[in-house]
Amino acid sequence: MRPAIINIMDGAARKAARSLVHDFNEVEHLQISRKGPADFVSEADRRAENIIQKELSSAYPQFSLVTEEAGLIGDDTAEDQWIVDPLDGTTNFLHAIPHFSISIAHVHKGEILEGIILDPLREEVFWAAKGQGAYLNNTRLRVSARSKLSESILATGIPFLGREGKEEMMAVLPLVMEHTAGIRRFGSAALDLAFVAAGRYEGFWEFGLSSWDVAAGILIVREAGGLVSEIDGRNDPLGGSSILATNGSLYDPIKHLLQQGLKNRRRS
CATH number for the domain including 26?
A: 3.30.540.10
Whether residues 197 and 165 share a domain: the answer is yes
| Identity at 59, one-letter amino acid code | A
Whether residues 198 and 257 share a domain: the answer is yes
For residue 266, pLDDT beyond 80: yes
Weakest mean pLDDT among 58-62, 68-72, 133-137: 68-72
Model pLDDT, residue 68: 82
Model confidence pLDDT, tens digit, residues 140-154: 999 999 999 999 999
For residue 162, pLDDT beyond 90: no
Whether residues 56 and 26 share a domain: the answer is yes
Model pLDDT, residue 39: 60
Whether residues 124 and 208 share a domain: the answer is no
Nearest CA-CA partner of 254 in 220, 195, 203, 199: 203
Residue 134's beta-bridge partner residues?
128
- Counting the structural domains of the chain, the total is 2
How far CA 192 is from CA of 39, 63, 187, 223, 227, in Å, comes to 19, 27, 8, 15, 14
How far CA 129 is from CA of 29, 64, 117, in Å, comes to 38, 19, 12
Mean per-residue pLDDT of the chain = 93
Whether residues 241 and 113 share a domain: the answer is no
Q: Pick from 113, 140, 167: which residue ends a domain?
A: 140
Whether residues 163 and 233 share a domain: the answer is yes
Whether residues 130 and 161 share a domain: the answer is no
Model pLDDT, residue 166: 86
Weakest mean pLDDT among 209-213, 238-242, 247-251, 264-268: 264-268
Whether residues 162 and 262 share a domain: the answer is yes
Whether residues 158 and 126 share a domain: the answer is no
Q: Confidence class of residue 2 from pLDDT cuts 50, 70 and 90? A: very high
Domain containing 91 equals: 4-140
Whether residues 126 and 11 share a domain: the answer is yes
Model confidence pLDDT, tens digit, residues 174-233: 999 999 999 999 999 999 999 999 999 999 999 989 999 999 999 999 999 999 999 999
Model pLDDT, residue 34: 67
Model confidence pLDDT, tens digit, residues 18-62: 999 999 998 877 777 766 655 667 889 999 999 999 999 999 999
